[in-house]
Amino acid sequence: MPACKMALTALGLFAAIAILAPLSASASPAAAPGFRYWKVQDTAQAPKTLSTLGLYKDIAAKKKILVDNAWRYEVNSPLWSDDAKKARWVLLKPGASIGFREKDDYWDYPDSTVFVKDFDIDTIPGDTTSRIHWETRLLVNSKEVYDQNKGTVIDQWYGFTYKWDADQKEARLVGPGAQDDSIRIWPQGRGKPSKMKKWVFPARSQCENCHSTSQSDSVHGRSILGFFTAQLNRPLADSAAVNQLDYFFSRGVLHGQKPFIWDYSPRWRDLDDNTASLDLRARSYIAANCSGCHGRRGMENGSSFGVSLNYDFHTLEAQMDLRHRSVSWPFGLDTLAPFFYPKNAAYNPTRSDSLPIVPAVIVPGYPQKSVLLFRQRSRNTRPGDYDPERNQMPPLASFEVNEKATALIEKWILEMPESRPVPTGTARLHAMAGGDAYFQGGNLILSQELARTQAKVSMVSVNGREVPLTRMAGGVYAVPGGMPKGLYFIRIGARSLLRYLL
């Protein structure tokens, strides 16, 4: 879709649409000049370069323009990709269109639908003149038979990624496995100290981690995470007077029953959109960056992880009902200073309401104990690797923390109405290993999973006093007599994994 910078404010909706695209709604787009469709199931047939794929009209041009039947779109709340600048297109065969249903936000993609995403890097952050093409990803749809007996057809998606050459005139297909890479950037400007920015070109198999197969007419297993009402319901990039979804209907990109006016349809907001409330911006970011796995918009496995961050389709309210629900693996949160209720008070065993603040997905008023924020601020050495000290979220495709987003979410949690925490009772495990711990007859008993670590075990009081425990046998550790009552962290190795109210 060619860009247009003409002023359209004085033009009506239909006149604006006529100027923004060269084709009428009734006309089918011309065949992509040189665009090569191939049998995506046979990944060996994938074009080895973007020039042989025929995605661009002139790939060597400084301003690269895609073929005519590629439609550029923008989203309201982008997925964080280490500050890469992204551009998105959907490419359809002549005469094809995407089925739209606002009622349940399910989208029906025709066979051979292609989604394209460009990743550009500012080698001098914030300086657009230093921007280079770095990666182009393709996600290609194939209608395939799922059940021969029932004749069920599903959307199977295949991912391919291309890395751009240094001269910016060609991009080459990356192999099937993940490829580590880095690019030199100058954070303080050219001539100042530089550093290498880490990057991973994803494995083809990793594409299914986010773009899972949709096996039924439902929102479970959503394949395309950014192409739906709440993300697309916004002004067209080239004209604030035209709604992007309206434009796609007028061009035949979408078909189906659309609302009379988009003002009452779901719409997420960007972090920088100061016209929207703090609550809406924070929830939009969490929905865009988390609900692809942890919620019904994306993979169903989010529920099995015990964290569901759904964003309601119609009320624009995130269904984040896990506040105060303690989780079994906050990954090192207990190494932070303990917090008690009432806020900023010391533990007082004579008061019935003096309770330790237990880490949970979201703890209103306590960002320091909110696992959601902790995980977003954490980064593993290599994305995708399990690191029990941090275990970052999202787990893939990011080496850098989104400082702007985490600052906004911290403020959002801090301003939530504080409420009394839920008592936890006995010790709770805070690690992925599984198991439990308890005191019996003056000894600390650890589960087999924890006992296998052979690490040093000690009890740490809230004032930092550490008391080593003597291992008796297996997972049995002797606790010295005369230990004062109070809250302790049980430290195994370098990490505080358990808390116990002695």
* Host H or E run for residue 176: none
* Domain parsing of the chain, residue ranges: 13-267, 428-501
pLDDT tens-digit map of 122-132: 999 989 999 99
User: With 80 as the cut, is the pLDDT of residue 335 above it?
Assistant: no
DSSP tally for the chain: helices H, then strands E: 10, 26
Which amino acid, residue 9? T
pLDDT tens-digit map of 410-461: 999 889 887 665 544 443 433 333 346 777 778 888 877 677 767 788 887 7
User: With 70 as the cut, is the pLDDT of residue 32 above it?
Assistant: no
pLDDT score at 494: 60
Percent above pLDDT 90 for the chain: 27
User: With 80 as the cut, is the pLDDT of residue 134 above it?
Assistant: yes
User: With 60 as the cut, is the pLDDT of residue 29 above it?
Assistant: no
User: With 50 as the cut, is the pLDDT of residue 2 above it?
Assistant: no
User: With 70 as the cut, is the pLDDT of residue 332 above it?
Assistant: no
User: With 80 as the cut, is the pLDDT of residue 306 above it?
Assistant: no
Higher pLDDT, 502 or 320: 502
User: With 60 as the cut, is the pLDDT of residue 336 above it?
Assistant: no
Average pLDDT over residues 170-181: 90
Contacts 24+ apart (CB under 8 A), 458-462: 458/490, 458/491, 459/483, 459/488, 459/489, 459/490, 459/491, 459/500, 460/488, 460/489, 460/490, 460/491, 460/496, 461/486, 461/487, 461/488, 462/338, 462/347, 462/486, 462/487, 462/488
User: With 50 as the cut, is the pLDDT of residue 28 above it?
Assistant: no
Distance, CA of 461 to CA of 486 (rounded, Å):
8
Coil vs helix vs strand at 189: coil
Distance, CA of 185 to CA of 192 (rounded, Å):
10
What's the fold here for domain 428-501?
Immunoglobulin-like (2.60.40)
pLDDT tens-digit map of 179-203: 889 999 999 988 899 999 999 898 8
Q: What is the dihedral of CA 108, 111, 112, 116, to 10 degrees?
A: 10
pLDDT score at 26: 31
pLDDT score at 182: 92
pLDDT tens-digit map of 259-269: 888 888 888 89
pLDDT score at 482: 81
pLDDT score at 304: 38
pLDDT score at 33: 52
Q: What is the dihedral of CA 263, 268, 271, 273, to 10 degrees?
A: 0
Distance, CA of 8 to CA of 297 (rounded, Å):
35
pLDDT tens-digit map of 198-223: 998 988 777 776 776 554 444 444 57
